[in-house]
Chain A
Amino acid sequence: MNGPQDLGGQMGFGAVAPERDDPLFHAEWEKRALGVTLAAGAMGAWTIDESRHARECLHPADYYASSYYEIWIKALAVLLQRHGFVTADELVEGKALVEGARPKRTLKAADVAAVLAKGAPCDRPVSAPARFKAGDRVRTRNFHPRDHTRLPRYARGKLGVVEAVRGGFVFPDTNAHGKGENPQWVYTVVFEGREIWGETGDPALTVSVDAWESYLEPA
């Protein structure tokens, strides 16, 4: 979706503001926000794609006014309600009121190290051969789906060159909506800066995205 998350090339956000002391967390609640979000995700009720989509579905005014962990918590509340674990009343009251859905699993403290060290690889076999190879010229599709997608707006309808075939990966555009993993080939596609940004673009700039096969057409 053309949501607030799709920031590449947007203007008006000012200078990047690196911090001198660079703290990992800026408040105690941010630590809990990280841990609660990961622990809730470990129930296995939703995918990383669904959680990303929940964040980008925040109203743009809310998204831009929120810090990063605020965005996480607001999206987590949506996911927990959508999947029946928590009700709106409970969020208001701040305590459990009804039974609610039961998870497939819960993350135990003793398993945290192993679970984090294992991660969740999302490469998958794809039965069809790869349509493109390194060196192929491609054009990204110019689409504007209402659903989740990982092709940024700045890179739509643009001519690029396939630099590498990365293998088969879960397709987020369907996986975010519970419509299956439908793995596709993923390619690193490189664009000249001026192809994306026009004649005022930096002539020494190239930008790449990692694109699922259905984002691409031969050119």
Chain B
Amino acid sequence: MAARVRALETILTQKGLIEPAAVDAIVDTYETKVGPRNGAKVVARAWCDPGYSDWLKQDATAAIASLGYTGRQGEHMQAVFNTEDAHNLVVCTLCSCYPWSVLGLPPVWYKAPAYRSRAVIDPRGVLEEFGVHLPAQTKIRVWDSTAELRYLVVPMRPTGTEDLSEEELAALVTRDSMIGTGLALEPYQP
């Protein structure tokens, strides 16, 4: 496959259809600039600021853009909030739709058949494989990203974090917790 991709890039470059430097810039964007730290800052802000949290509920696209996160595969955002009673899980059964602007590129498992097939029929079993054990009575809502809306899960704020700064809180927000396959980390206890 490496040779095949190299050949394709060569042909397109020779024909003036793509610029290798543009390809470099795209890769660099998703390797170094756009990733799940963006989403973590959104979540931490929502935990700290009830006004921002409300805005995020009502108009996630604008609330997220206000922190500077916009663009490809984040044009139409919806934030979904976990509660004591209900846990949200995001999937794209048909391809790999994912909120790039806040989470970056999706992990391999998110794009693979095992997750895409099982998230909608056996989400509790999938969560167990991620080490997330929800009580049987906890409702699970699975969001299948079949259109152009992209979903960001806002995990519950861990207890015992009242004294943490927004930056310290953001460090507790994992990528998986914003997909719904994880929970926010507990704060470090010395």
Chain A residues close to B by CB (< 8 Å): 5-11, 13-19, 22, 24-29, 31-36, 38-40, 42-43, 52, 55-56, 64, 67-70, 73, 76-77, 80, 85-86, 90-91, 94-96, 100, 103, 106-109, 111-113, 116-123, 150-152, 154-155, 166, 169-170, 186, 188, 190, 196-197, 201-202, 204-212
A109 to B122, CA, bound (A): 43
Contact of B29 among A19, A77, A112, A206 (CB under 8 A): A112
Whether B21 pairs with A73 at a CB distance below 8 angstroms is: no
Query: Which residues of chain B come closer than 8 Å to A96, judged between CB atoms?
Result: 11, 14-15
A197 to B30, CA, bound (A): 37
Whether B121 pairs with A8 at a CB distance below 8 angstroms is: yes
Chain B residues close to A by CB (< 8 Å): 1-12, 14-19, 21-27, 29-31, 34, 70-76, 91, 93-96, 101, 104-105, 107-109, 111-124, 126, 129-130, 136-149, 176, 181
Return the chain B residue nearest A148 by Cβ.
B94
Contact of B148 among A117, A118, A169, A208 (CB under 8 A): A169
A95 to B58, CA, bound (A): 51
Contact of A210 among B31, B126, B130, B149 (CB under 8 A): B149
Return the chain B residue nearest A150 by Cβ.
B146
A76 to B136, CA, bound (A): 44
A69 to B141, CA, bound (A): 29
Whether B108 pairs with A68 at a CB distance below 8 angstroms is: yes
Whether B25 pairs with A109 at a CB distance below 8 angstroms is: yes
Contact of B117 among A7, A43, A91 (CB under 8 A): A7
A96 to B102, CA, bound (A): 38
The 6 closest A-B pairs by CB, nearest first: A35-B23, A210-B147, A94-B7, A8-B93, A109-B21, A112-B25
Return the chain B residue nearest A152 by Cβ.
B93
A13 to B125, CA, bound (A): 13
Instruction: Tell me the smallest distance from the CB of B88 to a CB of chain A, in Å.
Output: 10
A5 to B14, CA, bound (A): 33
A18 to B16, CA, bound (A): 39
Instruction: Tell me the smallest distance from the CB of B132 to a CB of chain A, in Å.
Output: 11
Query: Which residues of chain B come closer than 8 Å to A116, judged between CB atoms?
Result: 26, 29, 34, 71-72
Instruction: Tell me the smallest distance from the CB of B84 to a CB of chain A, in Å.
Output: 13
Known: A13-B118, A94-B10, A95-B10. A39 touches B26 (CB 8 A): yes
Return the chain B residue nearest A122 by Cβ.
B148
Whether B129 pairs with A24 at a CB distance below 8 angstroms is: no
Whether B126 pairs with A35 at a CB distance below 8 angstroms is: no
Whether A73 pairs with B114 at a CB distance below 8 angstroms is: no
Contact of A121 among B12, B76, B124 (CB under 8 A): B76
Known: A13-B118, A117-B71. A208 touches B21 (CB 8 A): no
A96 to B8, CA, bound (A): 10
A8 to B143, CA, bound (A): 12
Q: Most A CB atoms within 10 A — which of B6, B19, B140, B146? A: B146
Query: Which residues of chain A come closer than 8 Å to B19, judged between CB atoms?
Result: 39, 106-109
Known: A7-B113, A10-B117. A109 touches B8 (CB 8 A): no
In the complex, 18 of the A-B residue pairs with CB atoms within 8 angstroms, ordered by the A residue number, are A6-B93, A15-B129, A19-B108, A22-B107, A24-B31, A27-B1, A39-B22, A40-B17, A55-B95, A106-B17, A106-B19, A113-B29, A116-B72, A188-B149, A204-B136, A205-B140, A207-B142, A209-B146
Return the chain B residue nearest A98 by Cβ.
B15
